[in-house]
Structures are given as C-alpha cells and as structure tokens.
Chains A and B, each alone.
Chain A
Amino acid sequence: MALDDQKPSGFKFVGTSPDRPDGLDKVTGRARFGADAYAPGMLHGAVVRSPHAHARIVRIDTSKAEALEGVKAVVTRADFVDGLQGEFGFVLENVMAGEKALYDGHAVAAVAASSQLIARDAVKLVEVEYEVLPHVTDVDAAMAENAPVLNDSYADASVPAGHHPNVVRYHDSGHGDVDAGFAEADLVIEDSFKTEATHQGYIEPHACLASLGGDGKGELWCTTQGHWIAQKTCAALVGIDTSQLRVTASEIGGGFGGKTTVFIEPVALALSRKANRPVKIVMTRSEVFRATGPTSSTSMDIKIGMKKDGTITAAQGIFRLQGGAFPGAPMEFSAMCAFAPYSLTNVHQVGYDVISNRPKQAAYRAPGAPMASFAVESVIDELCSQLDLDPIDVRLKNASREGTKASYGPKFERIGLVETLEAAKAHPHYSAPLEPGQGRGISCGFWFNHGGETSVSLALSEDGTCQISVGTPDIGGSRASMALMAAEELGIPYENIRVTIADTATLGYNDVSHGSRVTYASGLATIKAAKDAVGKLCKRAAAKWGIPEDAVYWEDGCAKPSGANAGNFDPMPLAKITKSMGRSGGPISGHFEATPEGAGVSFGTHIVDAEVDPETGKTAVVRYTVIQDAGKAIHPSYVEGQFQGGAAQGIGWALNEEYIYGEDGRLQNSIFLDYRVPVASDLPMIDTVIVEVPNPGHPYGVRGVGETGIVPPLAAIANAVSAAAGVRLRHLPMSPPRILRALKDKG
C-alpha cells in the first residue's frame, strides 16, 4: 500500500477551476443565509441600544415594554451569567452592557415579540435612564493624560507604568541596535500616519434563530465564520454546557473576520429561554455598523534609515491602535507584520492597544497588518523617491528570503516574496506609460496565515460518490477546493463529491474560518481523510483478491495490485468496492483531525495607477495588479477572487471608507449611503498574477491566500495617489476633502 505524504507530481483536478457547488443555489436564491431560518412558534427579537457614547446605566424599566400585547420576553444583563473573566467577559459586556454603555449602539436590553413590528415598538417602550459621561473616540486623545477613563481594570501587566488606563496592552519587539543603524544611513525619514476605522462591510447582516429550553438544551442557527466558537461562547454566556448547544452555520454572505465572534446570538438564546419559544434576530445595517466589529483606527510613527544604494540600515515603528471599548486591538500584528517583508539587522517595533468609546473591534482580513504596511511602505516609497531609486529594486535588495531572521523573530522557511517582486518588475503594468495626472505606487505586504484545530470526515456512498463534512464555513469557495483535493486523492470526478459544512454535533472542534486557514488546514485534513478512506478501500480489494494489503495501491480511482508478484487482477474501481461494502466489512469512511502547524506565510506585491483630479481631490484607480504567492492554487479562479477582493476592499479603505463620529460621540454614517464602499463602477478590472512557491507544510504546497491581499493596497494606493498629487498623503482614507486640503497646504 503506497500511502505517503509526497506531493503528486502531476495534478488531475487540483489547479482547475470548476463551478462552485453552491453556485446555483446562490444565483437562484435557494441558498439559505442567516435570516432564512424559521421555526414554528418563532418570535422576533430586537435590541435596545445606547444612544450615548459613554453613560452609566442608572435604571432600566422594562414594564411598559412587557405590558405591550405580543411581547413575550425582555432581557437585560441580569439574564446572563455573572462573573465571566477574560475574553468571554469582554464578549458578554459587549453583547449586553452591564453598568455602563460604552459606545453609541451598545446593547442594553432586548425584547422578543410575536412580530418584528411589535418588537420594534417594544424597544421604544424600554425606558433606560442614563447618566451621560465624557467620552473619547480618537486613539491619540484616548491615550492623553486627561482622557475619560473607560475602565481602570482592563490594562494587563504588559503595560509599562505611567500610561493612561485606556492603554490596556503593550508590545515591544525587534532585534539589533536601531540607533546604530540610523547612524549608518545616508537618509533617515521619520513620519506620522493615521488611518480611520473601517468596517468589513459584508452584505449579509448578522442574523440568527435560537431555541433554548429550560432543560439547558439548545439549538442555534446563525451566519458565522465559526460555529464552534459561537457554541463555546454562547454556552458560556447563557450558562449551559457546550455540548448541549448545537450550532448550525448558515450560508454566509461575507464575513472577512467580522463574523468570528458573537453579537446577537447569546441575546436570542437568552430571550428564547425566557419566552420558551424560538427567537430570531436579524440586525439592520445600521446596527451592523454601530455595534459590530469595525477594524481599529490607528496612529503610527515610522522611522527608517537607508543608504544611497537602497540598503535599509534600521527601521522603527510605533503602532497605536484603538480597538473600541475592550482590549484586543491587533497592535501586535501591526508591529509584527510591519517590517516582515524586509531582512533587517536593526528593527524595533512598539504597539499600544487603546480602548475608546467605539464598538469592540473585530478581525478584518489580516488584522492590524494593512495599516502598519501603509505607514511603513509610505516611508520606503518616500526614501526611494528622495534617493532616486527604483522602488522594486530597493525592495528586492532588502527582501526577506528563506533563512532571513524575520522582524518578528523566527527564521523564514521557503517564502515567495522575491518571486512576487520579480514578477511585478517583469509585468507589463510596471513599465506601462502613465498619463498626465496619474501616479504609480507599489507596495509589498505580509501575513502569517494560520493552522488551527481542524476535523474532517469523509464518507463513501454505495454508488461510488463521496460526501465530505468539514467544520469551516465556506467564505470563499472552499467547498470547491475541498472537493478538488478529495477528487485528486480518490481519483473520482469533482462532481461526484459533495462537501457540507457540518454542524457542531457532527465533528470535533473546528477553529473559525479565519487566518486564511481553510484551504490550508481543512484542505490538509480533507486530503488525509481521503487517504484514510483510500487505505480502507485498498484493504477491501486486497481481501477480495486474497493478497496482502500492502500489495495493493491506489491510482486513478482504482485499487491495483502493486506488481506482477502481487497477482494479476484487473484494477478495482472505487464504485465497485463501495457497492459491496455493506457486506465486505461495513461503511467506508475517512477521518482526520489535528492542529496543523505548517501554515506557510504569504507575501504579495501590488502595483497601482491612480489619477487625481487636482480641482476636486477625487481619485480614480485606473489600473491595478495583484501579485501574490499562493503556494499552490487549488482552484485558481477562486484564488484570483481572493486577490481581487482584497484589492477592492483595500481601495475602499484607502479612498473613502471611514467611521465618522460627531462631537457627541455618535456614529454619523451608519448606512451604506454614507459609509462609502466602492461600487462596481469605482473599480478597474483587477489583474492578478498567481505565484506558486510551495509551502512545505502542506501536502500540495498550499498557502492561505485570503488575507495577504488586503495588506499592500493601502500603501500601494497611497503611494500612487501621492505621486499623482505631488504631495505625500499620510491620513487614510484619502477622501477628496483630505486630498484637496493637502494640495492647498502644498500651495
């Protein structure tokens, strides 16, 4: 039996781009998203939210709401578990305020009623008395001496003495001696940057249907990137055993990191328990903006020294991230990713996690990295232009390679940064002439990628087809990739495989669909589960032929005797073995579970041309090319989709998307009209180049591709816009008023 971990030399299915198995359902409307779950006797929930950025909750009177006909339950913080510590404590505080409302939109109570309209009316009848407190929403202001204190117990031991209590975590890393490095430089540039908070902007609002009985047994259907984390968190917040809550993930209309936690789910469970009826909650868009995870806003200082030949002698960065009212802003990722593309002798990075009166930040594709990359790559661009050096040559000269000691510590294994830079240099885009008023920018970007707990089961049907249960919600076409990898191993057609996102009762714990881990980790587990099944298939054939198991091998979907000595038997196809499996030993399935740790890091290089209208400050992105290392593209067109999606979201972040708070601390733009994601006509066709430098940690060489693609855009676009406008833009988004201001200041 030849079962080893060697990468097959020639792929038959992997590397093709068949239609996604969920495609027809999605284009015909048959797919069931979060809001498409119904149950008999179902009630509708609605959430009462604070209109204040910071206020003590003096009193909540629910009696009028409870008296309204059709209202079946009202819950407040008292209906949840007491005394939770750590992240669960923060999540509970976020999904239902305790003593204080900490941001505009913070949930303070919830109602369940027999119709949505009654629930909405009941919300207005819940009387909340607030004592309004001073608030702060800006990261620098929140760190300043006299800033209002949100919570004086959140800071952990990492924070050095002397900081405001709103500084809750601190990070310091690096190597070498930056001062010595700066002294060696011919040019040192030091500059400050800011980025505003953006939302993941998924089209599907959060939605769930919950049913929880007095016996502590519950069911939850929800749109989520990870139903096991939802299970664990919800169970903890409402005080039931994890295994007694079965969670099913719906189809998901986008998540981008924002659906890796819970918001309304524990609330619906608490309402359901109190009303003894199933309860459905669907957020409005405005609730999504006000109360679910935007990314952090940042304030950053970068200092880089360079020699005349382009060698970087030292680099230093300070990254201050505001992550809303709770600890967790991903400042350490900002710090660790900032300089990762470069091989540096002297590097130092510092991060501050700062709380403020804004919603709790949630992950957004490569959390923390895009902003850091914007600041760092802007300074590198400025150094290149002042020293008159080609920006790709400079990056090649300093590029991290296999064996480089990363800015964040470890030594890189085989990586593909240089390959992306070489591909960028060779791409016709890089040498194409620019029109007047246009500028070109480039940037590199890095993301770690992740493994995580993973469990996959695969079962063969009697007709020779295959069903696979994975535990990672499909946020990017991953069912197609799983089917391709299983097809490759089993040697049966892609169409004969159905991949299902199993519920929490079906598999062991699966980590969330985040960290670009799904095609890597669930893919690895799918391959190994298929190998497990193949082993069993070979065993059945061996038994039938009466030869030893190890004299049978698997090829092209058939068991074959491994040579003349093994005997002269016709290849036995999978369907023939499964047809009689009931009588030859029972069902055949494969299983694999692990926490794989070989997720290969990934780099990308982007090239952007932008045009700026000098009279209005309006920017058009006229050409865009993404070049990224995918390790191995299982389904190339969905890999390209990830690249393009990263660029598209990056364009929004760089140009127009931002959380705008008024003086009163209220969010001013909680609808898509004023929170300006790019529309289709704002985007050029985004060109892609898939570089494949195999990841040694995956049987086929896969590296995650979902996140790296949003790391370079902010900087690449800022570099292009700065070139076009003739002035360095240091504050994102580069909205027309900011660009016009910068042009005027330049004179």
Chain B
Amino acid sequence: MQYHRPTSFNEAAALANQATGETRFLAGGTDVLVQLRADIVTPDTLIDIKSIPGVGDISQAPDGSWTIGIAVPGAEMREHIQLGKDWPGLVEAMDLIGSTQVQGRATLVGNLCNGSPAADSVPAMVAAGVELSVTGPTGSRRIAAVDVPVAPGRTSLAKGEVVSAVHVPARGKNAGDAYLRFIPRTEMDIAVVGCAINLTLDTDGTVTAARVALGAVAPTVLLVEDAANALIGSSLDEEALNRLAEAASAACNPISDKRGTVEFRTHVAGVLAKRTAKIAYARAQGENT
C-alpha cells in the first residue's frame, strides 16, 4: 500500500490519476480505516488530504454563503454557532454520525463519497442545495451534492477527481432546514430511513420553496419533487402534510434487508417527512427548535 500526503489538491488529483488498483482518499478515515481493518477494502493507494492548506476551515462569504473545508469534522461544525443558526438541519444530520470519537474525525465529503445510501448528512446536503468543488487532473468543476452518488458505494467522480470544497448556499430570510432519521435504537445506529427538508416561507407563513430529500429508501439519496410540491403554497396544514407523506412514500424504492423491510421503510418515510417538515417550518418561522 502506498501512502501519500499531498499539500495541494492538484497534487492529490495527480497522485490519484497515476495510481493503479484501489485508491482511497483519507479524510477522517472513519469509513476507510474501518473497511481496511474489516478486510472489506484494502486500498493500494491511500491519499491523505488533511495536509492541504485550508481544508479545516469554515468560512462565510459576504453574500452569506458558506464554504466548508473537506477535512472539517462534525465536531467543528457543531461548535460553529453561526453555521448552526443558518443550517441547523445540516449540522444536526452531521452530528448524528457516530459517537464523540467519530465526530472528531468524520467529514461531510467522506460521508458523501463513501456512497452509502443511508449516509446521514447526504439528504441534508441535498435538501440544502449544497454544491462541491471538484479538482481533477484536467482542471476544476462544480457539482451538486445530489449528483455525486450514483449507486451504493459508487460516485460520479472520475478517476483522479477529488472534492476540494463544500459550498452551502446563503440561508436567506424566513427559511429553515431539519433532518430526522429512523433508527431502532437511540444512537450509534444506521438510518433505516432518513429525511431532510429545507423550507423558505413568505412573511405570512406560506411555503414558497421546498426541498425534500430521503435517505436509505433507494440505491441513492432521493430529491423528491412531488413531496416538495405538496408543501409549496401551503402553510403546512394537515392536508399538505398528508400529501407530503404520500409523495415521500411513493418515491421510495427500498430493499428489504436486515435493517428494515420495504413495507416498513416506505411507511416510515412518510411519517418522518411529516415530522421533519414541522421542525423545518418552525425553524423557518424563527423558532429555536
């Protein structure tokens, strides 16, 4: 196994491009190292990207948008007061990952690029409209988070491409997001269903924009337009919530496995969507929930 510690994304991309066999980037390592030890994936090339300048920073642009470094762990996000005020759903989704120890390491990009359909921060990134900068052997591009996962364990990133920054839009007024997951226990578990909702309201409480994302109910994260449409124009009345639940359940394309049945996941997606929407709505109205 080759271990590299590049100091720029161009160098990281070049190393990845030249590598043969299995290549992994080492961000927090909470997936990579676990898979290595469990004999699931033994990379031939391991590229540690934590020495690249700026990867641990969280910064806000004058327009209110955020850039999060690709090595920022969950714990740093949770302790960032202004980020948490703007994007409580994104931060809580990241915060649900693992334990205190894991929080000290785990990153948004690692969660996304590991490619698990159940990854907790991914629906929240998708609902928030997060985009990523990607550096490749031939230059850089920007890609929406929703377009990264293509199948369980696979992403749309080409050989030699490395994510170099996470861009979170400006929060804007009267807006809020939330994330809920269903697990049979209270923590240290993997989402059986995950739901993130991001809402913008007008001043009298009518939903003007909505994004609804579901995790663990399909091979990749789902951005459910019908579910969003069920909310737009409503002030989250019972009828809108029921339409939301129906649309969320209808979008599900899950598998039955050790973690839950098709029937269960489909039903609970609707239940969670309603509960998540209520929290996002309350936050958009300025409530501190």
Mark A residues whose CB is within 8 Å of B: 120, 284, 286, 615-618, 655-656, 660, 668-669, 671, 673-674, 676, 678-679, 681-682, 735-737, 740-741
Contacts and interface: CB of A to CB of B under 8 A. Distances in A.
Main secondary structure of the interface of B (DSSP, over half): loop
Central interface residue in A284, A618, A656, A737, by most chain B CB within 10 Å: A737
A682 B185 CA distance: 6
B189 A618 contact: no
25 contacts: A120-B39, A286-B38, A615-B268, A615-B271, A616-B271, A656-B185, A660-B258, A668-B257, A669-B258, A671-B38, A673-B189, A673-B190, A674-B258, A679-B187, A679-B188, A681-B185, A681-B187, A736-B184, A736-B260, A736-B264, A736-B268, A737-B263, A737-B264, A740-B267, A741-B263
B186 interface: yes
A616 B188 CA distance: 19
A669 B190 CA distance: 13
Contacts of A737: 260-261, 263-264
Nearest to B272: A616
Nearest to A123: B39
Which 6 pairs across A and B sit closest by C-beta, in order of nearness?
Answer: A737-B264, A681-B186, A668-B258, A615-B271, A660-B258, A669-B258
Main secondary structure of the interface of A (DSSP, over half): loop
A653 to B, nearest CB: 14
Nearest to A672: B188
A412 to B, nearest CB: 40
A617 B257 CA distance: 17
> For this complex, into which size category does the number of interface residues on chain B fall?
20 to 34
A360 B184 CA distance: 28
Given A615-B271, A737-B264, A740-B264, A676 B257 contact: no
B259 interface: yes
Contacts of B38: 284, 286, 671
A679 B185 contact: yes
Given A120-B39, A616-B271, A668-B258, A676 B185 contact: yes
Nearest to B99: A679
A655 B184 contact: yes
Nearest to B37: A284
Given A616-B268, A679-B185, A736-B192, 16 more contacts: A120-B39, A615-B271, A616-B182, A618-B182, A656-B185, A660-B258, A671-B38, A673-B188, A674-B190, A674-B258, A676-B184, A676-B189, A681-B186, A736-B184, A736-B268, A737-B260
Contacts of A618: 182, 184
Contacts of A669: 258
Contacts of B261: 737
A656 B184 contact: yes
Interface of B: 38-39, 182, 184-190, 192, 257-261, 263-264, 267-268, 271
Contacts of B264: 617, 736-737, 740-741
A669 B258 CA distance: 7
Contacts of B271: 615-616
Contacts of A617: 264
Contacts of A284: 38
Contact of B186 (A120, A668, A682, A740): A682
Central interface residue in A120, A617, A671, A736, by most chain B CB within 10 Å: A736
A114 to B, nearest CB: 19
Contacts of B184: 618, 655-656, 676, 735-736
A510 B234 CA distance: 74
Contact of B185 (A120, A286, A671, A678): A678
A117 B190 CA distance: 29
Nearest to A675: B258
Contacts of A681: 185-187
Contacts of A655: 184
Contacts of B39: 120
Nearest to B274: A615
A678 B187 CA distance: 9
Contacts of B187: 679, 681
Contacts of A656: 184-185
B58 to A, nearest CB: 28
A735 B38 CA distance: 27
A681 B188 CA distance: 10
A172 B267 CA distance: 45
